[in-house]
Chain A
Amino acid sequence: MPRRPASPAAGLDFASLVRQHQAMVFSIAWHLLRDRAVAEELAQDVFLSLHQHLAELESPEHVQFWLRRVTSNRALDEARRRQRRPMVSLENAPEPVAVTPTGDPLMGAALRKLVAALPEKSRAIVVLRYQEDLDPAEIARVLGIPVGTVKSQLQRALALLREKLSRVVGQASGLSG
């Protein structure tokens, strides 16, 4: 087999990569699955795979892209599998501890639940857009779907979230719908 020069990513310390990216990987899984234990297990599996494939990755940026892609796809697969089985209701799913609580906590909890109720692909698009701050072209690369699909699904998802949130807020403030 021809020898390849060692990839730059291969020299990266694996433990450092885990610490650097653990919040990103766990959060993508958590926001897609809304089950802390399953999200942590999935995140661990992703890092195990990273360890096996590290030599194939060309740079720190490639590592980040790879982690986002693998985590999103595995979490989506798991979300689809779980859809076919009855699960703990979202109301009972415990919230993980936020790193730094910002914004309205009640609004945040309501939004997270509404995002969790979106169809899987739309949910992934919203998470990658607002958690990871990726633009539609980057989201398209990560998920392997056309950028037009990303844009239209994002638009629809935001409209749906706004509408549902206004109903939730209206109910909470005692206003009739």
Chain B
Amino acid sequence: MASFEDELKSALKRQEPSPDFAERVLARVAAAPVRRASQPWIRWMAAVAAALLLAAGGLEYRHYRGEQAKEQVLLAVRIAGGKLAKAQKRVQMLAHRSNS
């Protein structure tokens, strides 16, 4: 019998949109008007905004990757340190027994 979580995964399985979904998206992209700023200062502002978005987007992803790597480092130290500490604890217990 499937577990509750298996049933949830099955219930929330990805669903396909309409068969022509991709074609409709591509049609909208092709039909989207290309806006051209008439004023040089508007073009300059748009360039600055785009540069900021670019930097923010890249920074956001690097932040995400860094946070991921940090969690992995902490996990690694927890696992490796735990095994080493266990071995050390046993050695100390054995030493204590042989001395008593």
Contacts and interface: CB of A to CB of B under 8 A. Distances in A.
Interface of A: 1, 4, 14-15, 18-19, 22-24, 26-27, 30-31, 39-40, 43-44, 47-48, 51, 53, 55-58, 62, 65-66, 96-100, 102-104, 107-109, 111-112, 115, 126-127, 130-131, 133, 137-138, 141, 158, 161-162, 165
B35 to A, nearest CB: 11
Given A53-B53, A111-B11, A162 B4 contact: yes
Given A1-B47, A137-B68, A102 B10 contact: yes
Instruction: Name the prevailing secondary structure of the A interface residues.
Output: helix
Contacts of B8: 111, 115, 126, 130, 161
Contacts, number: 127
Contacts of A141: 64, 67-68
Interface of B is mostly: helix
Given A1-B47, A44-B24, A137-B68, A103 B17 contact: no
Contacts of B22: 15, 18-19, 22
Given A4-B54, A48-B29, A51-B29, A112 B12 contact: yes
Given A18-B25, A19-B22, A31 B12 contact: yes
B32 A48 contact: yes
B25 A99 contact: no
A98 to B, nearest CB: 6
Interface of B: 2, 4-18, 21-22, 24-26, 28-29, 32, 47, 51, 53-54, 57-58, 61, 64, 67-68, 71
16 contacts: A22-B22, A23-B15, A43-B17, A44-B21, A44-B25, A48-B28, A57-B57, A66-B61, A104-B10, A111-B7, A111-B12, A112-B11, A130-B9, A131-B12, A137-B68, A162-B4
B25 A130 contact: no
A107 B7 contact: yes
A74 to B, nearest CB: 15
Contacts of B11: 103, 107-109, 111-112, 115, 130
A23 B24 CA distance: 15
B7 A103 contact: yes
